Structure 1
């Protein structure tokens, strides 16, 4: 028995309930309708956020706080670094010579250091000058005057050609070590201990900001992902129906992607 012919232009129904793609594939691509479809999906996803204001506001606030904490810490760290870079501080390396060293040898060492290319100036502080400064700063003039001899050594204050900064700290330390190896020098001190502490604090702060940023970015991704997952669960029946009528995965995924887009935009706007 012959089968009855199908009407012209009709599509064949498949076992899954979806129609054949032959007619749909034969239709030309319409860019205007494509943009209109994206626009309607974008507005629809925004309206869904407005319909659930409490959950949407809480999610947006969590995203804004998570983004503002590492950003604020990073800006503060950069401001501290910029302030320290603008400080015009000359580094001073104090060379404490042996107490029994003669003045002529100390002066010869001073002239020798002044001729170095990495030394800007050398200040010679004799024992008498050091004692007068110590008396004025300590206020024990009578007690110090009763000493049988001056116990202070000759001090050479070496000023390098480069200023003190976090970048030049290693070079200054290397110069201090080299000058301390001189046979006339008993002890050499770099007047940049504060810079050591500052460099350590800035280095720790930078690592802390990076670690906190990674943790908070991961938290934001988990929060947005969990919010979208709950939205998918609420629309589970709608998604199943759309799959039955032949909707593609990209078409089903599109409103949820726009939902994440709106969360990012609103969280960034709240942050600003």
Structure 2
């Protein structure tokens, strides 16, 4: 009887490779992104939006349950499970707001933070294919929002939006028409990475010029970084607190993650500041 139970349980346990985990992560990310993309359609109604979000939530939940049986790559696996569960809450927040309710207000922000952490730490900054389309929506000057929660999912909160807007307006005395479009777009993306995802200067640069990222020129990336109103110490601190709260990492692990070339790419001084202020209120 015991041997049969052991055989049954062993048959339920998966051993997923890093590549397979990456596919699961991209699948979840694309599910969430598709809801945001669909919300921009002129034909989108509240009923259709709720139906699409519920379907995406269910699809992500199935992947999360599958990952909970995985016995390999435990650290990455746990992080992707946490991302999936947080993204389900973000989708529920979207549904509830359409119905005039409030729930999981911070879930979209945490979902974006976790996605950035996973992509930057394990997949060389590469995200799911649909994220680029969502970023175009987020950075569009003429964006039209069908639902308030979509705006929250893109920009996470009003303070981030104000920070981005203020930075964009104050960082250049030159008229907008005289700035090359690529430079302006690079700055918009850099503001998003800086103020919403709390990325380091090096990570933002690499994301802007990467063939898997913004594909901007070095000159456009330099312009964007030169015109950012950034506090890199505070970005490092926000990342550190995310690692502490979401992954229960030790201070030494947090410092290594912050400075790692395969991680967040902050300077040693910025990482030291973050760890020193980790327990501040």
What TM-score, normalized by structure 1, do the two folds share?
0.21
| Structure holding more strand per residue | 1
Q: Which has the higher contact order (CA 8 A, sep 6+)?
A: 1
What TM-score, normalized by structure 2, do the two folds share?
0.21
| Structure holding more helix per residue | 2
**Highest Rg: 1 or 2?**
1
